[in-house]
Structure 1
Amino acid sequence: MKQLMASFNLTTSDPSVFILMGIPGQESAHIWIAIPFCISYIVCLLGNLAIVFLVGKDQTLHKPMYLLICMLALTDVCITNFFMPKALCIFWFNWKGITMSGCLTQMFFLHTLAFTQSAIFVTMAFDRYIAICDPLRYTIILTNARIAKLGLVGLLRSALIMLPLPMLLSRQPFCANRTIAHTYCEHMAVAKLSCGDITVSGTYSLVITVLVVGLDRILIVVSFSLIIKAIHRISSKKPSWKALNTCTSHICVMLASYIPGFFTSLTHRFGQGISPHIHVILASLYLLVPPMLNPIIYGVINKELHGKVGKHIHRK
């Protein structure tokens, strides 16, 4: 049994191993902290996989908007699966060790998926813009095949943008202290352990975040601004509310992702007086709460999806 535990709980004596501390200063409460995390993780998996199953099975949902919701659900499942199993191992079993290659792999996929999620949000905004502002050409401009291609382009863009970061860090010399005060391998948390110059890595990370995420959010704001203008030009109130209702679920999902991300970034950059465990908890919740809320939001607000879920449950 001791040998089995040792094989999982890697030690700091191994020069290729990092140690993830979990939530610093709260080690004694890790077992209890893990319970809401685990419940949220299960809800996230069940909700998002239910959306994927429902959209895949129901032919009437094989439309661009629902394919995008399905893509978002798959992205959310991947994000939580790259993050939560290791975090729960830290909380429950004190298995804190992670190899350098495993750490860089986790970092690459988490950031890649976050950028992919941003690309999906942009495509969702574009989809609603075409549906409301140019409805007669909607089926011509946005086909299912084109949506699939846009999703693939978003994934490739994110992977290519993120690839230099783990490559740069893999060439860095790391100090003897390889303890990461976090539940997962976040880029700057890993970079700060280096004894070398991380100027290039840090600058590149900041530039791609500002350019890519900043540009995506500008495109989203512009799209919904044009949608609101188009809705105001509709004379009848009923079509206006019907058109706006198709955007409501997307807007709520985006806010559920962007608001926690904003506060996490704010506390990370300007909250020097805030306890380290607050930073880690906020960063961890940022990866867990939006993926958990997304299927709930779509299930409640989106009337067609809500109706399909109700019919499927009633049939069962």
Structure 2
Amino acid sequence: MSDSNTTDFTNPSIFILLGIPGLEAAHIWISIPFCAMYTIAVLGNFTILFIINRDPSLHGPMFYFLCMLAVTDLVTSTSTLPKMLSIFWFNSREINFSACLTQMYFIHCFSAMESGILVAMAFDRYVAICHPLRHSTILTNSVVAKIGLAVVLRSGILALPYPFLARQWPYCRTNIIPHFCCGHIAVVKLACADISISSYYGLFNLLSVIGMDVFIIIMSYTLILRAIFQLPTKDARLKTFGTCISHLCAIFALYIPDFFNSFTQRFGQNIPVHFRILFASVYLLVPPVLHPIIYGVRTKQIRGRLIQLFFL
């Protein structure tokens, strides 16, 4: 279905994804780093899952949360990157309306899930540093499973309004989405109706869910840093803080692009479209790429198993 300004249609059967508007001539070249990053994300996260599954000594709370993060990264990147690459390589721009809404749900659900897992990992770091003798009794397998279930349910329920709101709007102007994926705002901006509810819900979700998660993480690290500064020696303080570096890197890799992407999509009309979309791809792809690298390099147990796996 092509762009139409005269024919009314509601809930079109097909949307057209443009990829990165303004950079169509460079799509092939842009696809090279994206394909390489997606390959690294898939191989890296599967390697993390394989190592943790094979080694019983890694069956603990921190590594269970890391497995959840790896699965979330795999789903997040796979829900968007294959379609993006098909646009770049084969000019396959069409996407079914229902598939578009499904992709929208997966993007927002698993992005929120990733944030919830980082909160769970912050809690693990807090217990490990502030209550080390009680770590195994506080974070039992049952507690970890309940935390994981709570994260999944919260993300799944709060992401449901996105496709439902998008489905109810009439799309009577165009079915062309100037993006490489069906993000909520990118889709509802095409509606010929007042989409204030969709916009406000997205902003509410960002500020309440992500904002609450960031607040909890800040509070956790305030208590962690207070405990670290009470340690008797500089070496002990540095060693203890070093156990948090991987988690802090993962936090910055997710939240900085997330907030920037969300606000530029809503309020960045003066920012070039291709720049906003390129940054959206950073938000979706960079965390799944960085997480296995960060934890593979910074976590001694995983680094040791990686060396054994590939070099011994």
TM-score (norm 1): 0.93
User: Which residue of the partner structure matches residue 132 of structure 2?
Assistant: 135
Deviation, 1:155, is 1.0
Match of 1:297 in 2: 294
Choose 199-208 or 79-88, whichever is displaced more.
199-208
1:7 — aligned with what?
Answer: none
Query: What SS does the corresponding residue of 1:222 show, helix, strand or coil?
Result: helix
1:213-272 deviations in whole A, cap 9, x for unaligned? 100000001101110000111113333222211111100111112222233345444543
Return closer, same or farther for 1:204/1:270 CA change in 2, 3 Å cut-off.
closer
User: Does the alignment pair 1:52 with 2:49?
Assistant: yes
2:264 and 2:163 mapped to 1: Cα distance?
Answer: 25
- Asked if structure 2 preserves the Cα contact closer than 8 Å seen for 1:252 and 1:297, the reply is yes
Residues 172 and 195, structure 1, Cα contact 8 Å, conserved in 2: yes
The amino acid across from 2:29 in the alignment is W
Classify the secondary structure of the residue corresponding to 2:181: coil
Structure 2 partner of 1:177: 174
Show the 5 A alignment for 1:50-89.
50-89=47-86
User: One-letter code of the match for 1:196?
Assistant: A
What displacement does 1:78 show? 0.5
Of 222, 231, 237, the residue aligned with 2:219 is: 222
Residue 99 of structure 1 aligns with which residue?
Answer: 96
Matching residue of 1:255: 252
Amino acid at match of 1:280: I
Where structure 2 has 5 or more consecutive residues not aligned to the other structure, the ranges are: none
Distance of aligned partners of 1:97 and 1:82 in 2 relative to their CA distance in 1, 3 Å threshold: same
Residue correspondences, number: 306
Q: What is the CA–CA distance in structure 1 between the aligned matches of 2:204 and 2:55, rounded to whole Å?
A: 42
The 8 Å contact of residues 12 and 18 in structure 1, kept in 2 or not, is answered as no
Q: Tell me which residue corresponds to 2:190.
A: 193
1:215 partner SS: helix
Aligned-residue CA RMSD (Å) = 1.6
Q: Which of residues 233, 236, 252 is equivalent to 1:236?
A: 233
| Larger deviation, residues 267-276 vs 229-238 | 267-276
**Contact residue 105 and residue 160 of structure 2 kept, 8 A:** yes
Per-residue CA distance 1:149-191 (angstroms, 9 max, x = gap): 2112101111101112211221221123111110100101111
Q: Is the 8 A contact 2:173 2:192 kept in 1?
A: no
Whether the 8 Å CA contact 1:11–1:97 is kept in 2: the answer is no
